[in-house]
Amino acid sequence: MKTRIVVLGTGFGAFRFLKEAGRIPAEITVVSPRNHFVFTPLLAGTTVGTLEFRSVIESIRTACPGTAFHLAVAESLDPETKTLRCRGAFEPPGAEPFDSHYDTLIIAVGAVPHDFGIPGVREHSLFLKDVRDARAIRQKILECFERAALPKAGEEERKRLLHFVVVGGGPTGVEFAAEMHDLLHAELRRAYPELFPEVRITLLEAGKQILSAYDGTLSAYTLRHFRRQEIEVRMETAVVRVEERRLFLKDGGEIPYGCLVWATGNAPAPFVKSLPFDKDPHGRILVDDHLSVPGREGIFALGDCAASIKNPVPATAQAAEQQGLYLGRALAKRLRNRPMPPFRYRHQGMLAYIGGHSGVADLSKVKGRGFLAFLFWRSVYLTKLVSLRNKILVVLDWARTRIFGRELSRL
């Protein structure tokens, strides 16, 4: 009988593993509440219509034929009997579960948005982790403009509705603020000329720097660039409470908003929290340098839900992708009784889009910024997109945006 591999998740790590796993003589089953892979580095562009949602996703069933797929959530794990308890993604919590048995388990469930337990964040903010989030942001932006354009909106209410606040100055927050700026100056300015002077974009960052993981010259450049673009950046400004129409700062200040995007990093998914494994201080599963969970034969973890004991890697798409590729190759060796080499992370640099056809590129030898870095950013992601279909759709979207502008209808 073929060995049974169960893969949890359809993000970067899982997807790369599945693409590599064709060579493995095994029966592979994927369990995930999402039946597609999302190319998250380009997700911010879909919030404002630079790119269409379907251009940055790839169906698992189409991309990985021959792999069994369950649209379901893994709820608990019994490592003794090698059994996963799962619930269909359409079923409510508490509905009748089903079991999935494995010989090898690959946990690649990613992470969820971190709210640091701050009251009101879950209820009132929008996140940017998935296509569903991006769609909600796009709808909300247009809702704010249409509400502000109604004759009954008073001056104070109009100003509130037209205030777009981003919390968190990491790459997610910065790239969303940049895309929002582009939408505002290219399309919204023409479509709502009477409202344009009242629109504000504000980025709130608790630390002393935005893009703090990047080279200092690039984070300083981004700050200057944002200020030139009239994106208000407030550093050392931590949000401590959120209400439906306003948020509250640690220093006692209050900020009214129309649309609030929350991008303060990652927290462990509920399934990861439930696992009886050793974790790092961020709640990620500790793995050895073969991505194996120590003392748990046949269980591997990778991507944002895992942390290496000896050689920490960043919680990024490129790290997860390298781990998925490694595990696909290493398991093929293991099943042929050949030794698995350890995983080695190769840092390829970091890129970010900062708006107005400008980018930053933090590479080991070069620190690029401006228009050339923007072109580099686009060309790297174009080559990294996972299918020819994605590549063609993304190029067409960029061309469509350039020629016709972004679509502003609220569907």
Site residues, ligand NAD (CB under 6 A): 41, 116, 118, 167-173, 175, 204-207, 212-213, 238-239, 263-266, 314-316, 350-352
Task: In angstroms, give the least distance from the CB of 134 to ligand NAD.
Answer: 13
CB 171 within 8 A of CB 200: no
> Residue 28 or residue 165: which is nearer to ligand NAD going by CB?
165
Least CB distance from residue 238 to ligand NAD, whole Å?
A: 4
Contact 324, 17 (CB under 8 A): yes
Shorter beta-carbon distance to ligand NAD: residue 350 or 385: 350
**Rounded CA separation 216/198 (Å):** 32
Are 29 and 364 in contact, with CB atoms under 8 Å apart? Answer: no
DSSP state of 315: S
Q: Please enumerate in sequence order all residues whose Cβ is within 8 A of that of 168, keeping only pairs 6 or more positions apart, or say none.
A: 204, 205, 262, 263, 264, 265
First vs last Cα of the chain: how many Å apart? 50
Distances, alpha carbon 238 to alpha carbons 124, 167, 293, in Å: 17, 8, 36
Residue 107 or 118: which CB sits closer to ligand NAD?
118
Nearer CB in complex with ligand NAD: 135/241: 241
CB of 293 to ligand NAD, least distance (A): 22
Least separation in angstroms between CB 215 and ligand NAD: 13
- Helix ranges, 71-154 (H): 121-124, 131-149
User: What would you report as the CA-atom Rg of the chain, rounded to the nearest whole angstrom?
Assistant: 22
Please give the helix or strand (H or E) that residue 394 lies within, else none. Answer: helix 388-404
Smallest distance, ligand NAD to C-beta of residue 47, A: 13
Task: Tell me whether residue 100 or residue 172 sits nearer to ligand NAD (CB atom).
Answer: 172
CB atoms within 10 A of CB 3: 16
Give min distance, CB of 218 to ligand NAD, in A.
Answer: 12
Nearer to ligand NAD, 11 or 173 (CB): 173
- Minimum separation from the CB atom of position 234 to ligand NAD (A): 9
* Residue of this chain nearest to ligand NAD (CB atom): 170
Residue number, 198 or 232, with CB nearest to ligand NAD: 232
How many residues make up the chain in this entry?
Answer: 411
H or E stretch covering 331: helix 317-335
